Each structure stands twice: as structure tokens, then as C-alpha cells.
């Protein structure tokens, strides 16, 4: 029988228990009861865990092209949790990229981006969650409009250099 702050958790009687939002900030224990004919029934309870930490999967927002900035939204964690982040490209650590944003550069072209968020809170376990993997980063050219900005003049667009085989319109 699984217990939350010493109270039984309804229908939580299997050898494993999946934590829920109701467990946030609570101490979890498990009680095992042994019965055998001719013997006394004995129950033994585990030592209390550290308090359960509510975590969330971080989300990345922004446009996955060079020159653009990505932003991490860590999601809802237990109140008071200190969060840190670390950015990755193709699963490899991006040294020094620990802020809430990441500026995409030519070094990121063709790579998929993820971010890991780590949460720390006293009397709780430290936890790390990882965002979904992004699409590959596209090289985006320096787009310009050229010409004389006078009515009747013709302007010309220049797309700059993009990732090979990118269809431009």
C-alpha cells in the first residue's frame, strides 16, 4: 500500500506507483504486509522519501533559422524551485549556453536543438527534464531590398545565402 504523508493512496496497491500532481511536495512511503498461515501478520513501512518535486517538460519557441533567438519556457514546477537551463545541438552540449535564450548562428546550421531544465529545491530531489528535439536549423540569408525609394522606381530583392536546396519565394 502506497502512502502520501502517512495517508493511504486510493487504489495504489501494486509494487510500483506513478507519481501524480497530488503528490507535489508530499512524502511518499510504501507499506508491505506479509501473511503466512501459522505466523503473525507483519507490516513494514519504508523510510519516507524526500518531498516530491513537480516538474514539467520545457518548450522551445522561436524560428529555427540563423539570426533568430530561441526561448525556453520551463513549464510549471513546484513553487520556489530554482531552475537552470543548458542548450544542446544534436545532443552535444553548447558550452556556455545556459540562459533562457539561444541566438542561432551559422554553427547551429543543420543541427537539431534541445534544452534541458534542471530544478533544485531544498528537501526535494534535483530533477532534469528535456524539451522535444527541434527541426534542423536553417541557414537564413541576409534579405535586402535595393533601389531608390521613390515612387515609380523599381526595387530589387536579394535573398542572401540560404541552406542548399532551400526553395525561396
89 band by pLDDT with thresholds 50, 70 and 90:
very high
Contact criterion met (CB below 8 Å) for 24 and 78: yes
Residue with cell 541566438: 103
**All three cell numbers of 82:** 530554482
Q: Is the pLDDT of residue 113 over 90?
A: yes
- Burial degree of 164 (CB within 10 A; 0-12, 13-18, 19+): exposed
User: Mean pLDDT over residues 42-62, rounded?
Assistant: 94
Rounded-to-integer distance, Cα 56 and Cα 44, Å: 33
Nearest one of 139, 141, 94 to 113, comparing CA atoms: 94
Task: Give strand pairing partners of 73.
Answer: 59
Q: Is pLDDT of 50 > 90?
A: no
* Residue 87 CB neighbours (<10 A): 22
State the cell numbers at 78: 513546484
Enter the pTM of the model: 0.81
Comparing 70 with 169, the larger pLDDT belongs to 70
Residue 159 cell numbers, joined: 535573398
- 15-36 pLDDT, tens digit each: 999 999 999 999 999 999 999 9
69-73 and 113-120 as β-strands: parallel, antiparallel, unpaired? unpaired
Residue 49 has pLDDT above 90, yes or no: no
Amino acid at each position: 500500500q502506497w502512502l502520501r504523508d502517512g495517508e493511504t493512496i486510493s487504489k495504489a496497491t501494486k509494487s510500483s506507483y506513478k507519481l501524480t500532481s497530488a503528490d507535489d511536495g508530499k512524502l511518499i512511503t510504501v507499506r508491505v504486509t506479509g501473511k503466512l498461515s501459522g505466523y503473525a501478520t507483519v507490516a513494514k513501512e519504508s523510510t519516507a522519501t524526500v518531498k516530491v518535486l513537480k516538474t514539467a517538460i520545457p518548450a522551445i519557441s522561436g524560428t529555427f533559422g540563423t539570426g533568430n533567438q530561441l526561448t525556453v519556457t520551463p513549464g510549471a514546477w513546484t513553487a520556489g524551485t530554482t531552475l537552470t537551463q543548458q542548450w544542446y545541438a544534436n545532443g552535444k552540449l553548447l558550452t556556455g549556453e545556459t540562459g533562457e535564450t539561444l541566438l542561432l548562428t551559422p554553427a547551429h546550421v543543420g543541427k537539431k536543438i534541445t534544452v534541458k531544465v534542471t530544478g533544485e529545491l531544498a528537501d526535494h530531489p534535483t530533477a532534469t527534464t528535456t524539451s522535444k528535439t527541434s527541426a534542423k536549423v536553417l541557414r537564413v540569408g541576409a534579405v535586402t531590398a535595393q533601389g531608390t525609394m521613390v515612387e515609380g522606381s523599381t526595387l530589387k530583392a536579394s535573398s542572401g545565402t540560404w541552406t542548399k536546396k532551400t526553395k525561396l519565394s
